[in-house]
Structure 1
Amino acid sequence: MERSGSLQRVATEDAQRSWRKMQADSHSAFIQKSQRIQLAAEYGKRTQPVVRDFLRSSHVRLSAALRALGGTPCQRTATELRDAVNMWGAEVDPVFWYEKKKNGGGGRPICRFSPVLMSRHKMLEFAVRPQLQPDPGLFGIPQAGRSRDDAVRAIRKLVLSGHSLLAEVDVKNCYQSINPDALYELPLPKQT
């Protein structure tokens, strides 16, 4: 009788092992397919077919679902979310937001996406980002490959070469200047 208990534990371990493998395979497919988009863009080829392949892949959708859920979600929750993600669907989940107080005064709107919308955003980020070429003068952007330390080195080089004036440019209060409720006033397709 103890053997059946042992077999049950092994069966559970096999199911967990299978779920971990499915997660790893999905994350691997996500990375490989997003790299194909980047290669197509770099070589000047049409990206539409590889983007379509990326967005339709059930492995990519599962990886995006896992990224949106965070932590260690159960297989059922993750696969249900994967199946709910339709990149070509007309339905749009509402975005909820609240204001978070800033230490220096004022507030910052914080958005909360539904898991479906978060999954869609994760996929779109990796479908669009490889196709964008950042301006060579920008620093601190991962796609540009130039960190803030690189910015400091570039400024130092300019100062040593005789440049004496420096202008710092930053977008201030960008998020605070947008009223999220006003976005619903725009002539955008309404949720059905």
Structure 2
Amino acid sequence: MTSPQILLLPGWQNSDPDHWQSRWEAIYGDHRVEQHDWMRPLRGDWAARLEEEVIAAPGPVALVAHSLGCVLVAAWAAHSRHVGKVRAALLVAPGDLERDDLRQMIPGWSPIVRQPLPFPALMIAANNDPYCAAERSRGMAGAWGASYIDAGSRGHINSESGLGDWPEGRKLLTDLLKEH
């Protein structure tokens, strides 16, 4: 079976150089899906970019999403005719775009699409994420049909969480892809 191309889907404002997604890009050669506007994300534009990247991939892909990227995966999967190319998705620390403060900062992403993903998915979320309460991330995982791992007190699972290259996250991705 062909190894999938790893598509990195950062959240709002992109992933900084110390973020585990940026480190994975440098270490493993994963491909970051570059958005046209990281500061004012438009759901339709972001979904169109993801669609372009999935279509352009020569074979299967695996989606590795962080924060707003998780919400993007659900929105894209609800409309794409190319979901069959996705082997699996690793969803890390989704943002709760239905929360009043975040909905105002990042308009146009609420309501969050809550239908089952047509491919296997694993969500990893912390129990103290400032952008999404644990019960909300668990609810999204359930609606999307994703398995769920509580990452403990890791905040937003970003560069501020001090994860470095986040080898345990990479192992979870590797294991997910072995299973599917």
Greater share of helix residues, 1 or 2? 1
Instruction: Using CA pairs under 8 Å that are at least 6 residues apart, name the structure with larger relative contact order, 1 or 2.
Output: 2
**Same fold per superposition (TM over 0.5):** no
TM-score (norm 1): 0.24
TM-score (norm 2): 0.25
